[in-house]
Chains A and B, each alone.
Chain A
Amino acid sequence: MIRFDKVVLRYPVGPFVRGSIKSSFFRLFGHEPIDRAHKPRDHVTALDGLDLTIGRGERVGIIGRNGAGKSTTLQTIAGIYPIAGGTLTVSGKIQALFNIGLGFEPDATGRENILYRGLAMGCAPEEITSRVEEIVAFADIGDFIDLPVRTYSSGMYVRLAFAISTYLEGDILLIDEVFGAGDMVFQKRAQKRLRDLVNKAGIVVMVSHDTNLIREVCNRVLWIEHGHLRADGNPRDVTQAYIDAGGYYAE
């Protein structure tokens, strides 16, 4: 179960805006690199009072423009960022599939990485070894499983990561735009796997720009904009509204 109650999330941007030693030095000579009138904020509000409840068995898709706060929402569910306001309740074991290659040891083989990733998810070594063959079979990358993962294509990363995340016991699966890299055969198998997972009373939350994929896989869609929830409903309606509002809109 996931519950956001007026959640506020801010990124500090101070470290990037404060400037370098070099610019401070030149400032001594009167050079003003930053216009005082437009002094940048020291933080960016990524989520602004987000209210949301997701229950077991839901396959939720999140859509929205770039920078709307979709990935941030996923990362907040995963507990990676501390929230600045509101309350967040997440119960269940989380498995995250963010950026391709994230959390892989590049010089270790696929098999070894199954172990490390599983351990990072909090699974016991015995649990992982008992499921390794299932994972290898689902990933279906042939002999590459025994080669270092830095030799993999992005599609293979996705297949392996997805196989690991879905074969190790978890309650909440978070997927951030990684589906694009998988081929069609994989996508079909992955979608079926997601449905099976959710039938075991899990939750799947996925971010995607592919509205067709969202319609195929999800039974609920959230449209996030500027850190708020703009729409929340069945996939067909929300994706249609999103497409209709689409293109370039001035705010």
Chain B
Amino acid sequence: MSLSALSRAASYAGNTLRYRHFWTHLAFSDLRARFRRSRLGILWLALQPLLLTIIMSGVFIFVFSQRFSDYSVYLFSGLIVWEFVTGCFVIGGMSYIAAEGYVRQVRLPMIIYPLKSALYCCIVFMLAFSGFTLYALAVKPQIVSLHWLYILPFFLTLAVFGTPLAILSAIVNIRFRDFQQGITLFLQMLLYVSPVMMLPSVFEHRGLREWNSINPVSALLELFRAPLLEGTAPALSSYLLVLAWALLFWLLALALLARNERKIVFYY
């Protein structure tokens, strides 16, 4: 990379940082807007996965022969991580569409809109996680231990993994609106082949095992559940897998951003 390219990248990053108040405030504003006339407000962010967990667990405990307390905690944890991943794709994908008013009036680094979406998803995850914590304390309090501190590096990893997904989705979707349809389908498929609601034992079968070993969502779920549910340290190999995928996504995202930065305004 040439010196001028590096200095341009540095000034771009500096600019993004300069406008941090703008995109961070907007993330909170989006959250407020979502629940503006709702009585329960942000409580829904914990309530929705909780209710879904209860209903699904009611059925799946017979499929997997599990105790309700064990499986529901497992499922709840899966659902909130999954919600983050889908959010990065779907809400991330809407970043530029939602920001049309700003894009057409003021020139700002284009990365800030998907960054805002990623931040939004992170906030949602944190609030949902609070709900999960309360549920775990109520239903299976013995799992809450010092290992829960692993949530901090996990959260960072999650953010690093999800942000480039938001950037990629935002750029692809503004150009090809089919993305919105396609990605919903893709996510539905991914849901069934990841241990979100399925127990890990399902993925020990031939064929599924290979896929499961490279699926970043599996690794993320393992990183989340190992300390939280099993009280063990998360596997380094899982961190490496997630970060490898994250690196790939970042490279793609930044390349796509560099190419499309000045063209996005023409795709409205």
Query: Which residues from chain B contact A12 at a C-beta distance below 8 Å?
Result: 263, 266
Number of interface residues of A (CB under 8 A): 30
Q: How far is the CB of A42 from chain B (nearest CB, A)?
A: 12
Q: Which of B25, B108, B262 contacts A116 (CB 8 A)?
A: B25
Q: Which of B21, B26, B104, B107 contacts A98 (CB 8 A)?
A: B104
Binds B, one of A54-62, A74-82, A241-249: A74-82
Q: Is A201 an interface residue (CB 8 A)?
A: no
Q: Are B107 and A116 touching (Cβ within 8 A)?
A: no
Q: Are B26 and A122 touching (Cβ within 8 A)?
A: no
Q: Are A108 and B106 touching (Cβ within 8 A)?
A: no
Q: Is A68 an interface residue (CB 8 A)?
A: no
Binds A, one of B29-37, B68-76, B186-194, B196-204: B29-37
Q: Which of B19, B101, B105 contacts A122 (CB 8 A)?
A: B19
A108 to B103: give the CA distance in the assembly, Å: 19
Binds B, one of A27-35, A99-107, A206-214, A220-228: A99-107
Q: Are B103 and A80 touching (Cβ within 8 A)?
A: yes
A78 to B263: give the CA distance in the assembly, Å: 15
Query: Which residues from chain A contact B265 at a C-beta distance below 8 Å?
Result: 80-81
Q: How far is the CB of B12 from chain A (nearest CB, A)?
A: 14
* B interface: dominant SS: helix
Q: Are A121 and B106 touching (Cβ within 8 A)?
A: yes
Q: Which of B25, B104, B262, B263 contacts A75 (CB 8 A)?
A: B104
Q: Is A124 an interface residue (CB 8 A)?
A: yes
Q: Are A98 and B19 touching (Cβ within 8 A)?
A: no
Least CB separation from A81: chain B residue: B265
Extra A-B contacts (13), CB below 8 Å, given A80-B106, A103-B102, A115-B25: A15-B266, A80-B103, A80-B105, A81-B266, A99-B104, A101-B101, A107-B32, A112-B29, A116-B26, A119-B25, A120-B19, A120-B102, A125-B21
Taking beta carbons and an 8 Å cutoff, which residues of A are in contact with B? 11-12, 15, 75, 78-82, 94, 96, 98-99, 101-105, 107-108, 112, 115-116, 119-122, 124-125, 148
In the complex, 7 of the A-B residue pairs with CB atoms within 8 angstroms, ordered by the A residue number, are A104-B101, A105-B26, A107-B33, A116-B26, A120-B22, A121-B106, A125-B21
